[in-house]
Structure formats: C-alpha cells, structure tokens
Amino acid sequence: TTVWPSFTYLYDASQDVAKRFRASCTPDVFLFDGEGRLVYRGQIDATRPNSGKVPDGRDVREAARLLKEGKEVPEEGMVASIGC
C-alpha cells in the first residue's frame, strides 16, 4: 500500500487560478516551495491514455524529493503535461 503525504491542493471550479497560471491542460502540475516559489511545472508521469503504462507519479515525485532535499529541479526534469 502506498501512503501519500498530506499536502495542500487547490480545487479551481471557476478555473480562474488556472488561467492566471496559464495552465495548458489537465493535469498541469505546479509545485511550490515553502517560500511560494514555483519549483516544478510539468507532467505527473510519462503515462498517456491507452499507452499500457502503469501510472507511477515518477516525475512529480522526483521533483518533490529534490525539493525536500533542498535541491533544484533541473529544467530538463520538467516535461510539459499533455492532456485536454
């Protein structure tokens, strides 16, 4: 069983916040540090509909791990989200 840490998230029913951040699709993940600085924007993982891949959250989990360790997320580690 995977236990996810608790975290704050935003339910943006009006999409006002998404528009302000220029979110391009769903899901478009934004990860901020404790100072409110954007440290990651990108995909959750490399899975796509009908790809046969099992979702694992690898990209955003790696970004969170680096943030927790006080390291920067490299630009090449931020793969744009693809969705609707």
- pLDDT tens across 4-52, in order? 667 778 888 999 998 998 888 878 899 999 999 999 999 999 888 888 8
Name which of 15-19, 57-61, 72-76, 79-83 the model is least confident about: 79-83
The one-letter amino acid code at 39 reads V
Stretch 45-60: mean pLDDT? 90
- Chain Cα centroid distance, residue 81: 9
Q: What is the pTM (predicted TM-score) of this model? A: 0.78
Stretch 65-79: mean pLDDT? 92
How far apart (Å, rounded) are the C-alpha atoms in residues 82 and 43? 7
